[in-house]
Amino acid sequence: MTDMTTTLKGRDFLSLKDFSSEEILYLIDLADELKAKVKKGEPHPLLAGKSLGMIFTKRSTRTRVSFEVGIYQLGGLPLFLTNDDLQLGRGETIADTARVLSRYLNGIMIRTYSHQDVEELAANATIPVINGLTDLLHPTQVVADLMTIRERKGILKGLNLTYVGDGNNVAHSLMYGGAKLGLNVTIACPKGYEPMPEILKEAKQIAKDNDCQILVTDDVKEAAKGADVLYTDVWASMGQEAEAEKRRKVFKDYQINSDLLKLAKKDAIVLHCLPAHRGEEITDEVIDGPQSAVFDEAENRLHAHKAIMAALM
């Protein structure tokens, strides 16, 4: 087997599409290992003396706290940077910012709107750049999701994951991650809110190579039948607040509630990347119920992010 410590060191983490099935599984294994160390109180300063710059142009709870605490637990130093803290806010180019930060830091995590900005940052930085979320993709979230599914189910390959809601950045990364690791992924969304056609096409091709399927449908009940995992996200993401009212009407039937959960397998688990708008995309009864793995999933962001940083930096 290839030594993952050498194949991953120094790489950017922009999309799960860029990583092999073995590399993604290695990150999940490492996340499990680091989680076990935390639970036993064993120190693991794998990034002692290293620093991570964290650029946020979008607000965050889980991404900020998990990366900040994560690098600290790995023995490194986090720097929280917003547009107001950087000259980016006054017109310095992304390329120049990347070149300068590369001289000071050992890695950059960025959470922003434009995926193109993250690609430009990575193209000009000489240190690893981690995509903490863009409007197009959310790959770090999906490493934690896959970790949580395997923790609960013991396997990944051959499982059926149904995502209910908007064909957004999370849906895109779930299709890539699922396809890479052999999960059948169904996206159930209203017409006009499907995932991007080029991402769907790429994910289907990857799935074909790994003996699984990616489907998109507007029939939410059919999609929920036989699911091992039901997954949802907010109906209106950051930047879509103006459409929130319209989306509430369009998505009203795309809710994970106890009726939908009954259509899935008896031992199905429920995931949500959070924050949740309770009573919209998911009911209290489900998110707080016995089949919910939502808060384990949130916790696993910490361990997954640590694995990504430790492997890349």
138 is catalytic: yes
The residue type of 88 is L
Catalytic residue selected from 145, 166, 228, 233 = 233
Catalytic residue selected from 12, 73, 111, 172 = 111
Helices (H), 182-282: 197-209, 220-224, 244-250, 258-263
Catalytic residue selected from 150, 172, 272, 301 = 301
233 is catalytic: yes
- Using a CB cutoff of 8 Å and minimum separation of 24, what contacts does 3-11 make? 4/311, 5/311, 8/311, 8/312, 9/311, 9/312, 10/127, 10/128, 10/312, 11/128, 11/312
Question: 195 is written with which tokens?
Answer: 């995932």
Cis peptide before 195 (omega within 30 of 0): no
Catalytic residue selected from 141, 189, 272, 291 = 141
Residue 255 CA, chain-centre distance (Å), reads 21
> How far apart, in whole angstroms, are the C-alpha atoms of residue 184 and residue 201?
15
- DSSP character string of 50-111: -EEEEEESS--SHHHHHHHHHHHHTT-EEEEEETTTSGGGGT--HHHHHHHHHHH-SEEEEE
The residue type of 54 is M
Catalytic residue selected from 138, 150, 172, 305 = 138
> How far apart, in whole angstroms, are the C-alpha atoms of residue 125 and residue 104?
11
Q: H or E element: which one contains 175?
A: helix 169-181
189 is catalytic: no
259 is catalytic: no
172 is catalytic: no
62 is catalytic: no
Catalytic residue selected from 273, 291, 303, 305 = 273
> How far apart, in whole angstroms, are the C-alpha atoms of residue 232 and residue 171?
9
The catalytic residue positions are: 111, 138, 141, 233, 273, 301
